Structure 1
Amino acid sequence: MAMTGLIKATGGRGVFLVAALSLTLLAACGEQRSALRAPGALDDYSAEQIYQLAETEMDGNKLDNAAYFFGEIERLYPYSSWAKRGLIMQAFAYHRAGDYDNSRSAAQRYVDFYPTEEDAAYAQYLLALSYYDQIDDIGRDQGLTFKALQELRRVIEVYPDSPYAESASLKFDLAFSHLAGKEMEVGRYYLKRGNYTAAINRFRVVVEQFQTTTYTPEALMRLVESYLALGLNDEARSAGAILGYNFQSTPWYADAYALLQGHGLSAEPVGENWLSQIYRQVIRGEWL
């Protein structure tokens, strides 16, 4: 009641001063902060005041509260400049909290509503990170990796001059290599169990689709190993030829060369198989 009386006594300026004081007090008290999340509790606050409250919560690492308050600006003042700023900050707060689904949702709304704004590039980058930061090991399902690649590519292609394009490019290469690593892991699994055809299919994917990754030399050597096991010498020799042409200084070529020599074979393209075709394209500088 005393607070209400003070507002009436001091007029409009008093309203702002009292609200500012309230923000300070509420930031210091957890129970009062929670009370501000009750329905209608922020209806009398300006967009700027809510934004400042959200920033205070961010500074105190109260990320869930911060994200909530940033979102309230969009709800209460949807057409204000503060709503636009609050939306990108909400995406950031959720991401810091590890709430990737909500971060992605907020970032996507920003990209949809403000595609030409300066922060649109960062919103797209956050959207990509919401997938990328969940790629933790090769053994997991790779659906997240594919989605990360798609969103990182958008950063690179749509916002090439942004400060985030270079980082997105680096992360794209790492995610791309991650997929190749998954194919190699499965291929090695089949190879160890003597399922050579299934192994070849995996190693072929690496050679044809992930040839820019560091896994390519091993994939070619494993193809030599698998084809020799099946008695398909032409394919084994062709794989060895590609390996020798592009990666002669690697231990993988030394291993493939020894395997071929052990069978009385040389590393050179033979026949009309898919590997001999790739070899001819390599010679002409047309690597797939």
Structure 2
Amino acid sequence: MRSSKSVVSVAVLTMVVVMGVSACSGTRNRTKLAYEERPVELLYNTGYQRLESRRWSDAVDYFQEVERQHPYSEWARRAILMQIYAHYQNGAYTDAIAASDRFIQLFPGNPSAAYAFYMRAVCNFEQIVDVGRDQAYSEAALLGLRDVIRRYPGTPYATDARVKIDMVNDQLAGKEMNIGRYYQRANQPLAAVNRYKAVIDNQDFQRTSHTAEALYRLVEVNLMMGLTEEATRNGAVLGHNYPGSPWYAEAYALLAQRGQTPEVAPTGQRESWLRRIIPG
């Protein structure tokens, strides 16, 4: 999930004031930056020039040297922020999270701590994998994004966090649906019902793209178990909330076959199983 790069770029330019970037030539290759006492302005500005050249690892070396030679200074504070940004742009999310944690620990009351909290959440967000795998990053991203909204309401960080929270919830709901379908195929209907109900009953999941399918699957599974009344009830809820959904058209057809035609007729087109597998 790499939709955050532009937001992060704007954020770092807003939160980090560059200090005298014109003072350096910076021609060193990235081998191993040996310890050598140099003016802090030289180290910082060389790192910033590497950043502008998109030489992310080289930039990190110089900003780390600023932090090492001038700890707890204003330069060190800014250098840590730049390390977060460079690590993130380089795809080194674990290192970016570590730098964010370090900034939060050292400067918890600084206004730029908002950026560190936001980046820690975004780095977990960027590592979210498909619904068939462990969702530890999704859970970590969700906690971090909620923390940003709680700590910094009304900021651009909170605004972006709300958008990402909806995306994470869609991912987690998709995970529940994936497990539910597995149980359904394995002829374990009760286990499947529990997963589908988790999507419907969770208020955070109710706004996701999976709710209509979850209701349809409940119709399917309840009919499989002979619970026609429960299937009809779920079909009615599906028809009331999603009358134009292809999932409701499918549910309506299933119920009609059992003589349980819902009151609300579907307004959308029934979608074939092949079209659901291969859209378009």
Question: In structure 2, what is the Cα distance between the partners aligned to 1:50 and 1:199?
Answer: 59
Deviation (angstroms), 1:58: 1.3
Q: Is the 8 A contact 2:117 2:148 kept in 1?
A: yes
CA displacement, residues 208-244 of structure 1 (integer Å, 9 cap, x when unaligned): 1211211101100100100110112232122112112
Deviation (angstroms), 1:266: 4.7
RMSD between aligned residues: 2.0
- Describe the SS at the equivalent of 1:165: helix
Instruction: Say whether 1:180 aligns with 2:173.
Output: yes
Match of 2:219 in 1: 224
1:153 maps to which of 146, 158, 166: 146
Question: In structure 2, what is the Cα distance between the partners aligned to 1:246 and 1:163?
Answer: 32
TM-score (norm 2): 0.80
CA displacement, residues 86-117 of structure 1 (integer Å, 9 cap, x when unaligned): 11111111111111111001112222322332
Instruction: Say whether 1:121 aligns with 2:118.
Output: no
Q: Is the 8 A contact 2:199 2:211 kept in 1?
A: yes
Deviation (angstroms), 1:142: 0.6
Q: Give 1:1-288 correspondences, 5 Å limit.
A: 24=25, 27-30=26-29, 33-34=30-31, 37-38=33-34, 40-41=35-36, 44-209=37-202, 210-267=205-262
Q: Is the 8 A contact 2:220 2:231 kept in 1?
A: yes
Question: In structure 2, what is the Cα distance between the partners aligned to 1:263 and 1:112?
Answer: 63
Deviation (angstroms), 1:77: 1.3
Q: 1 or 2 for the larger relative contact order (CA 8 Å, sep ≥6)?
A: 2
Deviation (angstroms), 1:29: 4.0
Question: In structure 1, what is the Cα distance between the partners aligned to 2:28 and 2:109?
Answer: 39
Larger helix proportion of the pair:
1
Q: Is the 8 A contact 1:121 1:162 kept in 2?
A: no
Match of 1:17 in 2: none
Identity, in percent, stands at 40
TM-score (norm 1): 0.78
Question: In structure 2, what is the Cα distance between the partners aligned to 1:189 and 1:144?
Answer: 22
Segment of structure 1 superposing worse, 195-204 or 184-193: 184-193
Ranges in structure 1 where 5+ consecutive residues have no aligned partner: 1-19, 269-288
Pairs aligned (count): 240
Q: Which amino acid aligns with 2:200?
A: V
Question: In structure 2, what is the Cα distance between the partners aligned to 1:234 and 1:112?
Answer: 57
Ranges in structure 2 where 5+ consecutive residues have no aligned partner: 1-21, 264-280
